[in-house]
C-alpha cells in the first residue's frame, strides 16, 4: 500500500500510527526505512539498489557476494513482517524494484510506502492522504469553524504553546490562517510555533503577505520540512522541467480551474496545447495539484502554499519569458469568481481512496480499515515502541 499526498499532509504520521496499530499482526514486527535520509537515486552511484541496501543494513544482513535484493529476500523468507518505506519519492524506482521483488519472493512480507508519487506496481493499493479539511470561506458560525479538523489542530497546538491564548474569540482569523495554509498539518505546526512571539492577528497578516515566514525551530525534522518553502522546493525538484513550467503557469489561477482553462491559459510556447492534459495528469500524480470531483466534472486546484511558492514571479523562473500580466488576467474568467488569496480555498470533496484496479491482497483489508479509522485523527504522538526497528539510528 502506498500513501500519497502533498508534502506535509501527514503521510508519515498516518503510516507510523497505522503501523503501530497493526504491528501485533506481524510476528517479526515492523521495520521502518527512513528513505528521506537517502540520497536521490538519480545522484547515487548504485541508485537502483539504494533502498534494498538500506533494508539490508536495517536487517543487519551481512554484506556478501549476493545482491542486496537477494540478501534481503533470503532473510525475509517466510517472515511475517511489515516494512514501512517512508518518504520514498526521490527513490521511487529503487523502492518499486525492491517491493516488486519481495512481493514475489516473500509473500508474507507487507509493504507500506509514503511518497508524493505512487510506485506504479500492478498490485499496489494507493491511498490519498489529503490535507485536513478547512472551514469554507463563507462559514461564519463559530461552532462550525471550531469543528473543522484544521482549526482543531491549530487550537490544540496553539494552546500547547500559549495555554492562556483565547482562540475562541478569534476563530475567524484562525479559519483564514488554516485556509491560507491549505489545511496542511506541517504548515499549521510551523504557524502555531510563531504564536510564541506573535498574536493570532499578526500571524494572519504576515502569512497573507508571505508564507516564507514559516520556519521550524525544531531540528528533529528532515531538512525539507524545516520551512514551507523547502517542502515546496523538495517536491518541485522531483518534477520534470515541463511540469515545473506548467505548475508556475497554473499558479495564476486564483481558484479552481478545469482542463480547458488550463489548456487555453497555459498552452503556449514552449508548451503546446496538446501537452497540457498529460502534464496536468503528471502534476496530479506528483501530488502537486488536487482534484475537485463533483461526480460529473473534474476541476483542479493548487493548495495555497504551493501556489504561493510556484507563481511566475516566485522562486521558479522556468522560462526566459515568464507568463505576464495578460496571462494572469486571462485566467480570471475561468475561475468561478475571482477571489483574494484568503478566500480561495474551497471545501474539498472527500473522495474514496484511489485503489489499484488489479487484485488487492487480502492483508490490505485490515491495514486499509486501520488507515480509514485513523483518517485525520492521527494521534499527536505515536511512540514507535519496541516492536519497531529502523534505519534511523
Ligand atoms: N492528523 C494529524 N494530526 C496532528 N498532527 C499531524 C497530523 N498529520 C501530520 N501531523 C504533523 O504534521 C507534520 C507533517 O506530517 P508528516 O511528516 O506526516 O507529513 P508528510 O505528508 O509525511 O510530509 P512529507 O511529504 O514532507 O514527508 C508532522 O510534524 C506531524 O507531527
Ligand atoms: Mg513524510
Nearest ligand (C-alpha, residue 153):
1
CATH code of domain 240-343: 1.10.10
Q: What is the pLDDT of residues 232-260, one digit of tens each?
A: 889 999 999 999 999 999 999 988 999 99
**pTM value?**
0.81
Ligand 1 centre to CA of 219 (Å) is 15
Ligand 1 centre to CA of 13 (Å) is 5
User: Whose C-alpha lies nearest to ligand 1, atom 23?
Assistant: 8
Query: What is the total residue count of the chain?
Result: 393
Ligand 1 centre to CA of 67 (Å) is 34
The whole-number pLDDT of residue 211 equals: 62
- Which three three-digit cell numbers place residue 148? 473543522
Given a cut of 50, whether residue 389 has pLDDT beyond it is no
Among 3, 4, 12, name the best residue to mutate to test ligand 1's pocket (greatest count of ligand atoms within 8 A of Cβ).
Answer: 12
User: Whose C-alpha lies nearest to ligand 1, atom 9?
Assistant: 10
DSSP-derived pairing of the beta strands 298-301 and 290-293: antiparallel
Among 91, 112, 181, 186, name the best residue to mutate to test ligand 1's pocket (greatest count of ligand atoms within 8 A of Cβ).
Answer: 186
Among 185, 235, 236, 380, name the best residue to mutate to test ligand 1's pocket (greatest count of ligand atoms within 8 A of Cβ).
Answer: 185
Report which ligand 1 atom has the smallest distance to the Cα of 378. Answer: 1
Ligand 2 centre to CA of 16 (Å) is 10
The whole-number pLDDT of residue 11 equals: 95
* Mean pLDDT of all residues in 37-57: 90
Given a cut of 80, whether residue 174 has pLDDT beyond it is yes
Given a cut of 50, whether residue 320 has pLDDT beyond it is no
Report which ligand 1 atom has the smallest distance to the Cα of 114. Answer: 22
* Mean pLDDT of all residues in 16-39: 92
Q: Report the C-alpha gap between 124 and 83 in whole angstroms.
A: 14
Ligand 1 centre to CA of 4 (Å) is 12
Report which ligand 1 atom has the smallest distance to the Cα of 7. Answer: 25
Ligand 2 centre to CA of 14 (Å) is 9
The whole-number pLDDT of residue 368 equals: 62
Q: What is the pLDDT of residues 353-382, one digit of tens each?
A: 343 333 344 444 556 665 555 544 443 333
Pocket of ligand 1 (CB under 6 A): 5, 7-13, 87, 114, 153, 185-186, 189, 224-225, 231, 376, 378, 380
Nearest ligand (C-alpha, residue 89):
1
DSSP-derived pairing of the beta strands 81-86 and 2-4: unpaired
The whole-number pLDDT of residue 229 equals: 85
Mean pLDDT, rounded, of the chain:
81
Q: What is the pLDDT of residues 90-116, one digit of tens each?
A: 999 999 999 999 999 999 999 999 999
Q: What is the pLDDT of residues 256-314, one digit of tens each?
A: 999 999 999 999 989 999 999 999 999 999 999 999 999 999 999 999 889 888 865 43
pLDDT band at 179 (very low <50, low <70, confident <90, very high): very high
Q: What is the pLDDT of residues 321-340, one digit of tens each?
A: 434 444 444 554 444 333 33
The whole-number pLDDT of residue 391 equals: 52
Nearest ligand (C-alpha, residue 11):
1
Q: What is the pLDDT of residues 72-91, one digit of tens each?
A: 999 999 999 999 999 999 99
CATH code of domain 2-130+350-390: 3.40.50
pLDDT band at 228 (very low <50, low <70, confident <90, very high): confident
Cβ 188 vs Cβ 207: under 8 Å: no
Ligand 1 centre to CA of 247 (Å) is 24
The whole-number pLDDT of residue 369 equals: 60
Amino acid at each position: 500500500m502506498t500513501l500519497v499526498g502533498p508534502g506535509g499532509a501527514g503521510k508519515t504520521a498516518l503510516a507510523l500510527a497505522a503501523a503501530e496499530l497493526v504491528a501485533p499482526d506481524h510476528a517479526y514486527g515492523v521495520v521502518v526505512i527512513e528513505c528521506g535520509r537517502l540520497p536521490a537515486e538519480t545522484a547515487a552511484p548504485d541508485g537502483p539498489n539504494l533502498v534494498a541496501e538500506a533494508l539490508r543494513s536495517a536487517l543487519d544482513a551481512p554484506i556478501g557476494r549476493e545482491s542486496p535484493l537477494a540478501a534481503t529476500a533470503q532473510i525475509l523468507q517466510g517472515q511475517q513482517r511489515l516494512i514501512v518505506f517512508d518518504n520514498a519519492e526521490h527513490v521511487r524506482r529503487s523502492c518499486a524494484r525492491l517491493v516488486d521483488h519481495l512481493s514475489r519472493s516473500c509473500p508474507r512480507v507487507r509493504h507500506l510506502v509514503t511518497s508524493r508519487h505512487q510506485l506504479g506496481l500492478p498490485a499496489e493499493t494507493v491511498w490519498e492522504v489529503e490535507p485536513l479539511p478547512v472551514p469554507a470561506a463563507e462559514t461564519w458560525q463559530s461552532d462550525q469553524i471550531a469543528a473543522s479538523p484544521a482549526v482543531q489542530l491549530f487550537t490544540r497546538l496553539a494552546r500547547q504553546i500559549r495555554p492562556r491564548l483565547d482562540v475562541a474569540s478569534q476563530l475567524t482569523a484562525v479559519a483564514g490562517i488554516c485556509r491560507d495554509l491549505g489545511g496542511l498539518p506541517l504548515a499549521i505546526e510551523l504557524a502555531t510555533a510563531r504564536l510564541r512571539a506573535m498574536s493570532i492577528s499578526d500571524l494572519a497578516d504576515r502569512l497573507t503577505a508571505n508564507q516564507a515566514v514559516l520556519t521550524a525551530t525544531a531540528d528533529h525534522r528532515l531538512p525539507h520540512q524545516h520551512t514551507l518553502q523547502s517542502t515546496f522546493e523538495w517536491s518541485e525538484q522531483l518534477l520534470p522541467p515541463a511540469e515545473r513550467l506548467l505548475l508556475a503557469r497554473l499558479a495564476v489561477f486564483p481558484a479552481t480551474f478545469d482542463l480547458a482553462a488550463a489548456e487555453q491559459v497555459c498552452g503556449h510556447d514552449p508548451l503546446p496545447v496538446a501537452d497540457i492534459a498529460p502534464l496536468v495528469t503528471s502534476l496530479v500524480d506528483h501530488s502537486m495539484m488536487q482534484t475537485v470531483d463533483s461526480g460529473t466534472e473534474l476541476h483542479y486546484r493548487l493548495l495555497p502554499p504551493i501556489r504561493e511558492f510556484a507563481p511566475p514571479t516566485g522562486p521558479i523562473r522556468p522560462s526566459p519569458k515568464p507568463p505576464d500580466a495578460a496571462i494572469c488576467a486571462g485566467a480570471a474568467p475561468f475561475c468561478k469568481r475571482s477571489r483574494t488569496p484568503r478566500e480561495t480555498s474551497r471545501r474539498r470533496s472527500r473522495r474514496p481512496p484511489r485503489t489499484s484496479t488489479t487484485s488487492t491482497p487480502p492483508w490490505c483489508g485490515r491495514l486499509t480499515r486501520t488507515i480509514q479509522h485513523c483518517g485525520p485523527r492521527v494521534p499527536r504522538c505515536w511512540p514507535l515502541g519496541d516492536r519497531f526497528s529502523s534505519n534511523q539510528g
